[in-house]
Homo-oligomer: A and B are copies of this chain.
Amino acid sequence: MVAVLKPNATDAQIKNLTEWLEGRGLKVHISKGESYTILGLIGDTSKIDEDLIAGLETVDSVKRVSEPFKSVNRKFHPGDSVINITETLKIGGGHFQIMAGPCSVESPGQILEIAKSVKASGASVLRGGAFKPRTSPYDFQGLRADGIELLLEAKRQTGMPIVTEIMNANHLDMFENVDIIQVGARNMQNFELLKELGKLNKPILLKRGLANTLQELLMSAEYIMAGGNRDIILCERGIRTFETYTRNTLDLSAVPMLKELTHLPVVIDPSHACGLARLVPPMAMAAVAAGAHGLIIEVHNDPVNAMCDGGQSLTPEQFGEVAEKVRKIRGVIS
């Protein structure tokens, strides 16, 4: 951590501050310039409150030097994490997977039909929402417990592992046979939920919040990993910007940037990012060209009558074409 002092800081003030910092177990290196004095703070700064120091009368500004995330940091774990979704299915490192399925689970026939068709086209994980976070209390909130049951039935019939979203740690019992538990964008900083997921031994798909930075995403992953669960898949799903033609803005530079910062796999959700089915194919290809470890794509057998987000869902046929193009891009970049 580096603290820059105000130009008018007196020697007495600098001495006081230095002693206060040393009292917190830090070594302090002082660099005196003509108009500024810089303190380099060496040691475990993770328990020093940056805002507090920045607010001190003598201090002009503070900069944290080492990243505040540790377990998820590639600096301390240089190799790629490879996560076992099932005994035989892996993601991360050289392992690439496509997760596909409807926004919401609606009926036994719907989820099974979609599962079979996306499996045939190359998806290896079935996605489907049972608990739906909706801005309005009057919008469809998902089939909830029944939706989980329908997903599990589709898993039994197709053999596909499933990924679905959790909104409440009290529901964890229902997720026992779910293969990947998704944390949605709005719960990325629901720290109480993250702590509970840290106690599990099951992969977590952690979505970036709508206005969160990559560092905040990694800090939320750190919450899970601090609890002992190391199987985390990061997901970029679009961030809020001023653009209105697309629902959100897909930040594909997150792919190479996250791969540099962390050892965890990174997947892209082009469906929620754009909100428009016709933008999904080019953005899915771009995500793969940027180096993503996976995709999560919405597919619906009857988008027009879907109960949620139908406008962003591909038909099974469209999904098949995307999966085919993705395979070709993968061939070029690997």
Interface residues of A (CB under 8 A from B): 2, 4, 7, 20, 27, 29, 31-36, 38, 40, 42-43, 46-47, 49, 51-56, 60-61, 63, 65-66, 68, 75, 133-140, 167-170, 186-187, 189-192, 195, 210-216, 219, 222-223, 226, 239-247, 249-257, 260-261, 273-279, 282-283, 285-291, 303-304, 306-312, 325, 328-329, 331-333
Q: Contact: A306 with B52, CB < 8 Å?
A: yes
Selected from B279, B308, B332, the residue in CB contact (under 8 A) with A329 is B332
Q: Is the interface of A mostly helix, strand, loop or mixed?
A: mixed
- Which B residues lie within 8 Å of A134 (CB)? 191
- Which B residues lie within 8 Å of A243 (CB)? 213-214, 239, 251, 254
Selected from B211, B245, B331, the residue in CB contact (under 8 A) with A240 is B211
- Which B residues lie within 8 Å of A139 (CB)? 47, 49
User: For the complex, what is the distance from the CA of A131 to the CA of B244, rounded to whole Å?
Assistant: 29
- Which B residues lie within 8 Å of A191 (CB)? 133-134, 137, 167, 186
CB within 8 Å for A256 and B241 given contacts A2-B38, A29-B31, A312-B55? no
- Which B residues lie within 8 Å of A306 (CB)? 52
Selected from B137, B286, B303, the residue in CB contact (under 8 A) with A55 is B303
- Which B residues lie within 8 Å of A331 (CB)? 332
Q: A27-B33, A137-B195 are in contact. List 15 more A-B contacts (CB 8 A).
A: A7-B75, A40-B40, A61-B65, A133-B189, A137-B223, A213-B244, A241-B241, A241-B249, A253-B279, A255-B282, A256-B279, A256-B283, A257-B279, A282-B289, A286-B287
Q: Contact: A33 with B38, CB < 8 Å?
A: no
Selected from B170, B222, B249, B288, the residue in CB contact (under 8 A) with A137 is B222
Selected from B35, B190, B244, the residue in CB contact (under 8 A) with A186 is B190
Q: Which 7 A-B pairs have the closest CB atoms?
A: A55-B311, A211-B211, A31-B40, A29-B31, A289-B289, A33-B42, A286-B290
Q: Contact: A249 with B251, CB < 8 Å?
A: yes
A225 to chain B, nearest CB (A): 9
User: For the complex, what is the distance from the CA of A96 to the CA of B275, rounded to whole Å?
Assistant: 28
Q: Contact: A42 with B34, CB < 8 Å?
A: yes
- Which B residues lie within 8 Å of A195 (CB)? 137
Q: Contact: A273 with B285, CB < 8 Å?
A: no
CB within 8 Å for A53 and B311 given contacts A42-B31, A245-B214, A288-B289? yes
User: For the complex, what is the distance from the CA of A7 to the CA of B70, rounded to whole Å?
Assistant: 14
* Chain B residue with the shortest CB-CB distance to A249: B251
User: For the complex, what is the distance from the CA of A215 to the CA of B243, rounded to whole Å?
Assistant: 8
A306 to chain B, nearest CB (A): 7
A333 to chain B, nearest CB (A): 7
- Which B residues lie within 8 Å of A249 (CB)? 239, 241, 249, 251, 253
Interface centre among A46, A195, A241 (most CB of B within 10 A): A241
CB within 8 Å for A65 and B4 given contacts A49-B139, A242-B211? yes
